[in-house]
Chain A
C-alpha cells in the first residue's frame, strides 16, 4: 500500500479555469482509479497556476479485479461435432486475448478465466494520462509544432507510486521524479516519495494546496489592513482569483495620495480590483483609507520595490481617472442625452438617444399605471431619460464597469434630485441572479423600462435567444424584469407589459401579434425558471402560472400557497375536480342557463348555492382566492359523486355543464389546478 502522486507542469493556467479544473481532476482521478480496481483511503487534487496535482493516499490494487471471468458462446456453438473449436469460439478468444487452455465449460457455456498480466504500475500508466488530458477547459490552444492541444503548453510531468516512478508520456512530456519549485526562488525539486511532495514544494516556495494559499492571503491581508486601522475590502471572486494567480502569495501594503479620495469610491475600488488586482482598505464606517494591498508571488523579498511599482501603476490609473472625472463634468449629464445619438443601441434598433426617449415614455406609462404620486412619476421619467447618458462620458469609456455609478455621480453633481440619481445607478440592478434590487421607484421603473424596451425591440426583429446562444443577454433582461416584479410585488401582468413594450418600439420595429405571443411565452418560460429557483416543482408552477392575465408577483405567491397545501385532502379534491372539468369541457361549450325552476338534485343545488357564495366572496388576493376554492371542495366532491353530469335530458345536461363551466372559471382565475400531480 503506497501513496500515488501525479503532477502535470503547465505554463500559467488562466486563474478563472483553475477551481473547476481542480474539482474535475479529483472526480476524474477517483473514477478512473476505482474503475480499474484500485482502492485508496483518501484522494485530493491540488493546483497552482503552474501545476495540476493528483494525490491518492494508501492506494492499493484489488487483486480479485485482476481476474477476468467472461462468458462466451454456448458449448454447442463453440465446438463442432468433432470437438474442434469453431470460428465463433476462436473469435471470442482472440477478442479477449485468451488461449484455448484458458477456456472452461460451465453450465453449457464457455467461460474464460484469466489473470491480467499487468502490474498495478502498468495499469496506472495506462489510466492516468487521460485523467489529465480529459479535463474540460473552456479554451484550448496549440504551441510549438502545434500537434498538441491543452489549456496552456505542458512542460513537465511527475508520477510516483510509492517510491516507484510510473513511466508514461502525455501531452509531449515524459513522467519523471522532478518537480519545479517557484520560478525565481525554487528551482528543481526531486521528489523521493509522494508524502514529501507538499512539504518539499513548500520549501521551494510553492503552496500546492489552494486552501492553504487562501488562508495565507487572507490572514496577511487582514493583518496589514489592521495595522492602519482598517480591513481589506474584498470583492466577489478577487481572493479566489489571487489564490489561482500566485503559487506563494505574499501581501504588501501600499498607499496612495489621499487627494484621490475625492473621487467616487467606486472609481477607486474598480481601478484597484479590476485593473490592478489590488485590494482596497476601508475603516469601520466603510470609508476608504488611502492604502491598498498588493501581492507578490514568492517570499517577502523586495517589498520596497514591489510596493513602489504598484503605487506607480495605481497612481497612473488614478490620475487618468481624475482627469476623466474633471473633463466629464464640463458637460452636465442631461446635456449628454443628445450625444447618445452617436451610440447605436443596435444596428437595426436606432441610437441610444432614441432608446433614452423610449425609456422615459415607458417609465412614465408604468408609473401612471401603478398610480404613483405625481412627483414619483416625474422622478421615474427623469431617471429613465438620464439612465444611459453616462455612456458618453470618458470615465465609462475607460472603465465600463462604472456605467450607472458614474451616471449617479454626475447627476448628483449636476444637482439632480436624490431619488433621480439613485435611480440612475439602480436601474442596472439586479445585474445577476441574486443581486440587490433597486430601492427607489425611479430605479425600479427605469430598470423595468430598460429591460422591457430591450426585449420588445429584439423580439420585434426576431432576434431571440436560441439554445445556448443569447447574444443580447435577453434571458438576463427577462430575469431582472421578473425579479423586480416579483420581489417588489408589482401588480402588473405580463400581457400588459408586452403591450406597453410593443407600443414603445412600434415606430422603430413593430412587434406583430405573433411576436407578442412569442415574447409572452418567453417571459412565461423565464418566470417558470425563477419560480423553480425558489423551490417550486414543475406541477406547482404550472398551476401557479395558469391564470390569465399572468401577474408574476401573484404567481410567486400562488406557487408558495399551493406548495404549502400539497398533499392536503382539499387540494387533492380541487385538483381532481379541475381535471374532470377540463376533460368534460373538451366536449361541451359553456352553457349559461340554469334550471332552478325544474328542480335540482340535492348535491347539484348545494354546488349551485356554494358557487353563488364563492362568487360574492372577496377573492382579490391569492390567499383569499385559494381559501374560497378550498372551502368549495365538499360541495364539488359531492356533486361529482352523486350527480350524473351527462344527463339524458338535454336541459339538465346543459345546466350541469354550465355549472361546471362557472366552477372552471373560478378555478382558472387562480390557476391551472389540473396541472397538479393527482
Chain B
C-alpha cells in the first residue's frame, strides 16, 4: 500500500465514522496533539471527532537522513473521538483491517503506555499498540490538558505513518518508502531532512534562539492580555519548537529544562483557561 493510499484509506475510514477531516496545522509542532484541533477541542463539554495528518518535527531525532528509521520530521495521523465510544478499541482495530491487515495472521498487543506532555500540562492513560513487535499506534484516553481535568474524556489515536507504511510495504529504509507508484519518500524529504539536521545540529545560533524563546514568550503574554486564545497558544508552539532546537544542540541543562518547560506550560495553560471561559459562554473558536 502506497503511503498516500494509507493516508487516504485511514482518513476515509474515520470520516465515515463522523470525523471531520482537519488539515495539518501550518506551524512547527512536535506532535499531532499540539494541533489546536486536539489541544483545545479536548477541553470543555462539546463532542468532537476529527482525523488529520500532522507532520511533526523532533529535531533531536534527526539523523541527517543516514538512519533508516529516524527522522527530523515524521508524519502522524491523528484521530480524536470525544467522548470515547464504548467500542473504541474495536473500531480502531477495524481501521487496521481497512488498510489490509488480517488480524489473525498478525499479532496485536495493547501494552501499557501512559502519555504525558509536561509542556502542554497534559497526560493520559492508554497503550502503545504493537503489530508483530513494532509500535504502530499510541492510544490515549486524555485525562488532563492545559492543567485542566477533562470531562468528557477523549480518545486519541496516533498512528506513526512511516513505520506503518514501512511494515506494510516490507521496506527496511524509510527513504525507500513508495509514496505513490513513481515517487519515493526520500525524493520528497531527503534534502529537507539533511538541511534541517545541518541547521539544527551545526548552524543554529543558540544565543539567538535563547532570545527568540524569550521574545515569543513576551509576545504570547501580549496576546494573553488581549484574551487572544489561538495567537497566544501559537506563540507557545513557537517557544516549544525553539526549545526543541536548543535541546538538539545540547544547550539546555537539566535545571534549565525544568524552568523552560514551566514557562511554556504557563502560556499554554493560560490559553486553555481563556478557551474554557469562552467555551462555556459562546461558540468555540
Contacts and interface: CB of A to CB of B under 8 A. Distances in A.
B110 interface: yes
B109 A297 contact: yes
Given A12-B112, A309-B131, A153 B141 contact: yes
Nearest to A252: B107
A139 B141 CA distance: 13
B106 A15 contact: no
B18 interface: no
B250 A342 contact: yes
A312 B111 CA distance: 19
Given A305-B105, A306-B107, A320-B70, A144 B84 contact: yes
B104 interface: yes
Given A11-B89, A144-B152, A313-B132, A342 B83 contact: no
Nearest to B131: A309
Contacts of A294: 133
Nearest to A323: B67
Nearest to A16: B112
Chain B at the A interface: SS class: loop
Given A12-B112, A276-B133, A313-B134, A296 B86 contact: no
Contacts of A143: 84, 141, 153, 155
Contact of A142 (B85, B106, B141): B141
A152 B125 contact: yes
A155 B88 CA distance: 11
B254 A343 contact: yes
Contacts of A12: 109-112, 127
Interface residues of B, number: 43
B253 to A, nearest CB: 5
B104 A298 contact: yes
A49 interface: yes
A245 interface: yes
A245 B111 CA distance: 7
A16 B111 CA distance: 10
A227 to B, nearest CB: 20
23 contacts: A14-B112, A143-B141, A153-B86, A155-B86, A183-B108, A184-B103, A184-B104, A277-B111, A301-B104, A301-B105, A302-B102, A302-B104, A302-B105, A306-B133, A309-B131, A310-B132, A312-B134, A316-B68, A316-B69, A320-B67, A320-B69, A343-B254, A347-B255
Interface in A370-411: none
Contact of B109 (A11, A155, A185, A245): A245
Contacts of A599: none
B245 to A, nearest CB: 16
A344 interface: yes
Interface in A295-332: 295-298, 301-302, 305-306, 308-310, 312-316, 319-320, 323
Nearest to B151: A146
Contacts of B254: 343-344, 346-347
A325 to B, nearest CB: 14
A344 B111 CA distance: 33
A141 interface: yes
A354 interface: no
A142 B112 contact: no
B132 A309 contact: yes
B153 A296 contact: no
Given A139-B114, A305-B105, A313-B133, 10 more contacts: A141-B141, A146-B150, A155-B86, A245-B109, A309-B133, A316-B69, A320-B70, A342-B250, A347-B255, A351-B253
Most buried by A among B89, B125, B127, B167: B125
Contacts of A641: none
Nearest to A296: B107
A278 interface: yes
Interface in B238-270: 250, 253-255, 258
Interface string B110-133: 111010000000001101000111
Contacts of A278: 133
A257 interface: no
B172 interface: yes
Given A49-B110, A302-B104, A316-B68, A141 B151 contact: no
A301 B107 CA distance: 9
B28 to A, nearest CB: 23
Contacts of B111: 12, 15, 245, 277
Contacts of A183: 93, 103, 108
Contacts of A117: none
B105 A146 contact: no
Interface string A111-149: 000000000000000000000000000010111111000
